Amino acid sequence: MDPVGWVPDPERAYPVSLTALATPPATVSVDDAGRPGAAARLRAAVASYGPGGGPAPLVRVVTAPEEYGDLHIRVVVRDTTARLSGRDGTEFVGPLPFATDGDAARVVDCLCHLARWHQLRDLTSRPSVLDNLVQVEVVPWDSADGRALVPDGSGDLVFRYAPEGGPGPREPWVSIRLHNRSPHRSLWCVLLDLTDRYAADPVLFPGHFIGPGHTGYALDGDPVQLSLPAGRPVVPGAECREWLKLIVSENELSTAPFRLRAWDPDGRGSRHSDAAGHPAADGVLRFDARATSAGPRDAGPVVQGAPGRWATRTFGVRTIVPSLPAATGRGV
């Protein structure tokens, strides 16, 4: 870091607050063996996608494996279709049209959306005094002892649909508690829900202070229903994944940078939507104080200009529709 307009005392330790975070862009490679020229078209779309017609800040097209970043997306173009997959070949989304310059820009829309979602999911802080001060507990709604669940061998919390026609709700219901274990710090907390449709939303716990030794509840204590997203058939073997991300700070933060609508192949592109729903135009994640939509106010809590210290923690959640029990019979 370089001081601007001042000279630091070399014998003094200065506190530092991170107010903006620029993460490395996702890297993209293009396989256009089935459509020569597709790589050049996509590269041109990336180069003109950003603010003012500049390059897209969240993705970078590369050619050599040694250039691949932590998040690498492989684009395979065959005929008039593009498929986006990860390093292991798993496709992120369904096939996208790739025949015109407009289609190429739409593919870049998707690439930026994926990059932004992974940036939010993988956001981590440096070691902090706030680490592990807030404990997240997920408890089945009908639990008799109120005991929190623990992750399975894969590290995820797993929930299952109840048998159809049985008593109670079929979808899993849970209570989510945020317990501030600090004896003297009030901590501002937000709990993000990141879905496998590449959405992020702080709806569960949208940002509140929790006093020392006190507990906050997702949805103000109402049950949280875990269910497959609309349009995904509830059939044996079906499942969905979510990630619960806790963000803890000494001061209040704006939640706007943590909101991202689910990827919609038929929706409007990221360049034509507001910042609350899509990737930031410059690719920087800003930890600003919470903005108020009502403008200046006469009375209220002091809004700090920087978050101070902050910490994050992420939990994987899987919701499963169990397979039907195998039929049994008597031998003869």
The structural domains of the chain, ordered by start, are 20-121 (3.40.50), 134-253+306-320 (2.60.40.10)
Position 137 scores a pLDDT of 94
pLDDT at 74 over 50: yes
* pLDDT per residue as tens digits for the range 109-164: 999 999 999 999 999 888 888 899 999 999 999 887 888 888 887 889 999 999 87
Position 328 scores a pLDDT of 41
Task: Compute the distance between CA of residue 152 and CA of residue 259 in angstroms, rounded to an integer.
Answer: 28
pLDDT at 173 over 70: yes
Q: Supply the mean pLDDT for the chain.
A: 85
Residue 238: which pLDDT band, with cuts at 50, 70 and 90? Answer: very high
Residue 293: which pLDDT band, with cuts at 50, 70 and 90? Answer: very low
How would you write the chain as a 3-class SS string?
CCCCCCCCCCCCCCCCCCCEEECCCEEEEEEEEECCCHHHHHHHHHHCCCHHHCCCCCEEECCCHHHCCCCEEEEEEECCEEEEECCCCCECCCCEECCCHHHHHHHHHHHHHHHHHHHHHCCCCCCCCCCCCEEEEEEECCCCCCCCCCCCCCCEEEEECCCCCCCCCCCCEEEEEEEECCCCCCEEEEEEEEECCCCEEEEEEEEEEECCCCEEEHHHHCCEECCCCCCCCCCCCCEEEEEEEEEEECCCCCCHHHCECCCCCCCCCHHHCCCCCCCCCCCEEECCCCCCCCCCCCCCCCCCCCCCCEEEEEEEEEEECCCCCCCCCCCC
* pLDDT per residue as tens digits for the range 3-33: 889 999 989 987 766 666 777 889 999 999 8
Residue 36: which pLDDT band, with cuts at 50, 70 and 90? Answer: confident
Task: Compute the distance between CA of residue 134 and CA of residue 13 in angstroms, rounded to an integer.
Answer: 27
Segment 231-249 mean pLDDT: 93
Within 10 A of 221 (CB to CB), how many other CB atoms are there?
Answer: 11
Closest among 141, 132, 129, 252 to 190, alpha carbons compared: 252
Would you state the torsion angle of the CA atoms of residues 43, 49, 55, 59, taken in this order, to the nearest 10 degrees? -70
Segment 217-239 mean pLDDT: 93
Within 10 A of 268 (CB to CB), how many other CB atoms are there?
Answer: 12
Position 309 scores a pLDDT of 83
Closest among 218, 247, 258, 222 to 134, alpha carbons compared: 247
Closest among 190, 328, 307 to 246, alpha carbons compared: 190
Residue with more model confidence, 97 or 255: 97
Tokens of 307: 């978050």
Position 78 scores a pLDDT of 93
Position 128 scores a pLDDT of 82
> What phi and psi values does residue 190 have, to the nearest 5 degrees?
-135, 140
pLDDT at 76 over 60: yes
Position 226 scores a pLDDT of 94
Segment 45-52 mean pLDDT: 91
Decide the pairing of beta strands 187-195 and 239-249: antiparallel
Residue 270: which pLDDT band, with cuts at 50, 70 and 90? Answer: low
CA 288 to mean position of chain CA atoms:
18
Percent of the chain whose pLDDT exceeds 70: 81
User: Which one-letter amino acid corresponds to residue 199?
Assistant: A
pLDDT at 98 over 90: yes
Pick the range with the lowest mean pLDDT from 118-132, 243-257, 303-317: 303-317
Percent of the chain whose pLDDT exceeds 90: 61
Segment 298-305 mean pLDDT: 44
pLDDT at 275 over 50: no
Residue 227: which pLDDT band, with cuts at 50, 70 and 90? Answer: very high
Segment 82-100 mean pLDDT: 95
Position 75 scores a pLDDT of 97
Within 10 A of 291 (CB to CB), how many other CB atoms are there?
Answer: 10
* Sign of CA pseudo-dihedral 42, 70, 83, 34: positive
Task: Compute the distance between CA of residue 39 and CA of residue 303 in angstroms, rounded to an integer.
Answer: 47
Read off the pTM: 0.83
Residue with more model confidence, 92 or 17: 92
